[in-house]
Amino acid sequence: MKSLQDKINNNKLVVIIVVIIAMSEFAYFRFRSHNMLTLEEEQHKDEIIGLTEEVLDGKGMECDSKISKISEEQLREILEEVRKLRRRRKRVFSSADDSIEGVEHQNEEESPYIR
């Protein structure tokens, strides 16, 4: 059975995760309210929120009050970092897919013909 301390630590973790997600969602809605997002970015809301969470965490921003007080220029900088991270990940995934396809084609070409 879990000790009281373990239960308290688990509850703190849940609260921290919820706060981070809420903060990232708040930043996402600030992006939308300033018409900064493309239609494609709006359609991938969860991805943008997740990447925003990573960027904000990297910048040490931990609460909604900081997000609400930053200037539009700073908000644009955050969104630009989110876009860079997103492009980088897409590039990595597409090159990994290309590598897998190359191996599949190579295996097809190397397989001997047996009668």
35-59, pLDDT tens digit by residue?
Answer: 999 999 999 999 999 999 889 888 8
| Residue 115 in domain | no
Kindly state whether residue 17 falls inside one of the protein's structural domains: yes
48 occurs within a structural domain: yes
64 with 26: CB under 8 angstroms?
yes
Grade residue 5 by pLDDT with cuts at 50, 70 and 90. low
Domain assignment of residue 102, given as a range: 4-110
Please report the pLDDT score of residue 51 as a whole number: 92
The tally of domains found in the chain comes to 1
In a domain, 52, yes or no: yes
Mean residue pLDDT of the chain comes to: 76
* Residue 83: burial class (beta carbons within 10 Å; 0-12, 13-18, 19+): middle
Average pLDDT over residues 99-112: 56
Q: What is the pTM of this model?
A: 0.63
Does 75 map to a domain?
yes
Q: Please indicate, yes or no, if residue 9 is contained in any of the structural domains.
A: yes
- pLDDT of residue 27 exceeding 90, the answer is no
